[in-house]
Structure 1
Amino acid sequence: MKIRILGNSLRFRLRQPEVSSFRQTGVVTEVTQFGPEPSQKLSFILAVSSDPELSVSFEAGTTTVHVPKQLAEEWTSTDQVGFDGTVNTGQGQKIEVLVEKDFVCLDRPEEEQIGAYPNPNAIC
């Protein structure tokens, strides 16, 4: 899973195996370990939720994006590229969330692209 953070926005891009795993298990995780201690990591989780709205939580170095079950099922079982939403985090703060399928980059080495979706722009 690729993660981009810019201000109060999160963008997750998932390759085909990650989308498949998310569909089957309801969760996909990406971890960056900064040191030898278990607490020295930053984790991002995309998880299916029974809540009706997209939401975000942050606890102990872990950001979790909670995706309503119906939205997750629709996204993982169709050609829908992605979904987005604005999450109110309280006291007037908001986070923009974008989750999408990761397409092959047309200008990157092939070994970096394993598992990516075929890029529709690659077809003439």
Structure 2
Amino acid sequence: MKIRIHNNSIRLRLSMSEVKKLSETNEIKEELKFPNPYPSFIYILKASEDGNSFNIIFEKGQISISLPSAEIKAWANTAQVGIAKKQALAEGTDLQLLIEKDFQCLHKRPGENETDNFPNPQA
């Protein structure tokens, strides 16, 4: 799972096996380790505990994103490319979230393995 963070937006891209795992187990997790004494940065995408809500929480170096389980299943099992969400912030702005299927690039880059990425529809 790739993460891109810019200003008030988070973008996640998932490979075919990651989408399948999320759909089957309701959770996928990545960890970015730093040298000691610094803690790891963890990001999790999962089905919400009640199965129906959307939420983004950041605490103790961890981003936890919860989505309705039905929405995850529908996205995983159709040609739908992404899920877009907004979470209102206290300052009157929004935190934008985009979760996408990771497609193979149209222009191959040397040394990059894209065998687990979704076939590009424009190829």
Equivalent residue, structure 2, for 1:103: 103
Q: Which runs of 5+ in 2 are unaligned?
A: none
Quote the RMSD (CA, aligned, Å): 1.6
Using the TM superposition, give the Cα deviation of residue 89 of structure 1 relative to its aligned residue in structure 2, in angstroms: 3.4
Residue type matched to 2:60 in 1? A
Equivalent residue, structure 1, for 2:43: 44
Q: Percent identity at matched positions?
A: 35
TM-score, scaled relative to structure 1: 0.88
Which 10-residue stretch deviates more, 62-71 or 105-114? 105-114
Q: Which runs of 5+ in 1 are unaligned?
A: none
1:80-124 deviations in whole A, cap 9, x for unaligned?
1111011123342421000010000122236431310000111xx
Higher helix share: 1
Higher strand share: 1
Instruction: State the aligned residue count.
Output: 121
TM-score, scaled relative to structure 2: 0.89
Counterpart contact for 2:51–2:70, Cα < 8 Å: no
1:7-50 deviations in whole A, cap 9, x for unaligned?
0000000000000100111011111101245x521111001012
Corresponding residue SS for 1:121: coil
